[in-house]
Structure formats: structure tokens, C-alpha cells
Amino acid sequence: MRVLVVEDEADLADAVARGLRREGYAVDVAYDGDEALDKAAVNAYDLVCLDLNLPGIDGIEVVRRIRANGDAEPPRVLMLTARDRTADRVIGLDEGADDYLVKPFDFDELKARVRALLRRDAGRSGALLQVGDIELDSARHEARRVGQPLALTPKEFALLHYFMSRAGQVLSQEDLLEHVWDEHADPFTNTVRVTVMTLRRKLADAGERQPIETVVGRGYRLREEP
């Protein structure tokens, strides 16, 4: 899942990005509204963590323009705001933000809200994902196959999470690069192929059939029934 953190306080933006990266998200950072809109125009983000009070273009305007883009799958927007007046939050929510968090916040709460917002994509209500005999708990950061824990790296975990939230769909290498890796990933290396390979090996070690199949010329697909 790919996240954009927009926050003019660099010390805060970097800490949020660091914390979310450790959760397996691919995180980019923008320090003002212009940069945020530039990045949102180029990359397909699943979620934007947005400070409302930005120099230049402010957060409300950023939400408005992201919504106006008319993407098929617009990113979820989580507002971070230091203003605790109801009016400010109402404006933000009305303009298209999906949730808000008042600063200072508990980082665990931020993680929970990010998870909750990303779950809405898949139309599920819990932190637990299940596809066939694979289970993934995004809150506890645990994945199992046939009840047996899988030792995954954060990137592999994020990749599996993305596959499971789009089970049955064919996902191209570009899709995966876009949603699981951040802007620092080099699109010309075979990092996606390598990570998919290691993930498949770990899944194969735990169960009988390989759940991730290659669709020749198009990409990969996680089988819904094992």
C-alpha cells in the first residue's frame, strides 16, 4: 500500500514516514502543498496523510484538487490537524477527507486509522484478511498459511497484503511497483520480480500449492481458491 505524507514540519513528516515504512507501507513525503499535488499527480497513492495547515497551497485545497482529479481509485485522505475546532474538521471532511486525527496523536492510533482507511478499499471490516488458506493480520503484522506463521520481510508482507486485498485480480509489475514500493524504488531493476519470487517461495514452503500464479505477459494473480 502506498502512502503520501504531507506535512510542513519536517521532523514530524519524517517520523511518520519512518513509522509507516516499518509497517510495510511504501511512503513518500511532501513538505508543502505544491509538492504534494505534484506527487499525487504522478503516483497512484492509496492513502494521503495530510496536514491541513501548509505553507502555500493549504491542506483543504490539496484535498479538493486530489478529489477533482477524478481518478478511478482516488486515495483515501487522513487529515492531520493541530486545530481542534469542530469547524475546521467539518470543512476538511466536507471537502473529501475520509478521517481526521488531531495533533499530537498516538502513533498507534495513526497506524490503526491508516489500516482502517485502507480496509475500506477491500470492503472489509476487520484487520484480518483471509484468502484460501492464507491469513493476514495487518494490525499484528502477522501472516499465516494453514495456521503456520510465515517469516516475511516488511516488503514481502506489504506485497502479500496488496495481493490479498486484490485477490483474483491480475496485477502487473507496474501496479505492484506503484502501490508497494515508494518513489525511491528504481523501476529499471527487477526488485518486484525478486520480491515476488521470495514471497512465493515462502508461501510454497508452508502449503501445498503455489497460490500466486504468473499470468504470462500480464503479471501475477493470487488465486482465490487454493
Partner 1 sequence: MNTLERLWDRLPEWTRSIRFRYTLLYSAVLFGLAAVVLAAIYLILLMALRATPVSSGRGTFCMHGDCITVITFREAERLVNSEILGKLRYYSLGALGVLFVSSLGVGWVVAGRVLAPVGRITSVARDIQATDMSRRIQLPGPEDELKQLADTFDAMLARLDAAFDAQRQFVADASHELRNPLAIIRTNVDVALADPDASPDDLRQAIAVVKRAGDRMTLLVDDLLALARRQEPTLEHEPVDLGAAVAEASDDFMVPAETRDIVLDRAIAPGVAVTGDREALKRVVANLLDNAVRLAPAGSRIRLATGSEGNRAWIAVADEGPGISPDDQAHVFDRFWRADKARARADGGTGLGLAIVRQIVEGHGGEVRLHSKVGVGSSFVVWLPITRPAIDGGQR
Using the rule CB under 8 A, which residue among 39, 103, 144, 223 binds partner 1? 103
In angstroms, give the least distance from the CB of 81 to partner 1. 9
In angstroms, give the least distance from the CB of 15 to partner 1. 4
In angstroms, give the least distance from the CB of 32 to partner 1. 7
- Under the binding rule (CB under 8 A), the answer on residue 55 touching partner 1 is yes
Could you tell me the three cell numbers for 80? 492531520
- Burial (CB < 10 A; 0-12, 13-18, 19+), residue 28, is buried
Closest CA to 39 of 184, 165, 174: 184
149 vs 154, beta carbon nearer partner 1: 154
- Under the binding rule (CB under 8 A), the answer on residue 105 touching partner 1 is yes
- Report the residue count for the chain: 226
Please count the residues of this chain forming the interface with partner 1, following the rule CB under 8 A: 26
Instruction: Write the interaction track for partner 1 spanning residues 61-100; mark x where CB under 8 A is met and - where it is not.
Output: -------------------x-xxxx---------------
- Under the binding rule (CB under 8 A), the answer on residue 11 touching partner 1 is yes
**Cβ–Cβ < 8 Å for 182, 2:** yes
Task: Give the span between the Cα atoms of 71 and 94, in whole angstroms.
Answer: 18
Using the rule CB under 8 A, which residue among 70, 72, 86, 104 binds partner 1? 104
Contact region with partner 1 (CB under 8 A), list: 14-22, 41-49, 90-98, 148-156 = 14-22
**CA-to-CA dists, residue 213 to 4, 39, 40, 174, angstroms:** 30, 32, 31, 17
**Cβ–Cβ < 8 Å for 136, 147:** no
- Burial (CB < 10 A; 0-12, 13-18, 19+), residue 217, is exposed
- Under the binding rule (CB under 8 A), the answer on residue 106 touching partner 1 is yes
Residues that bind partner 1 (CB under 8 A): 8-9, 11-12, 15-16, 18-19, 22, 31-32, 53, 55, 80, 82-85, 102-108, 110
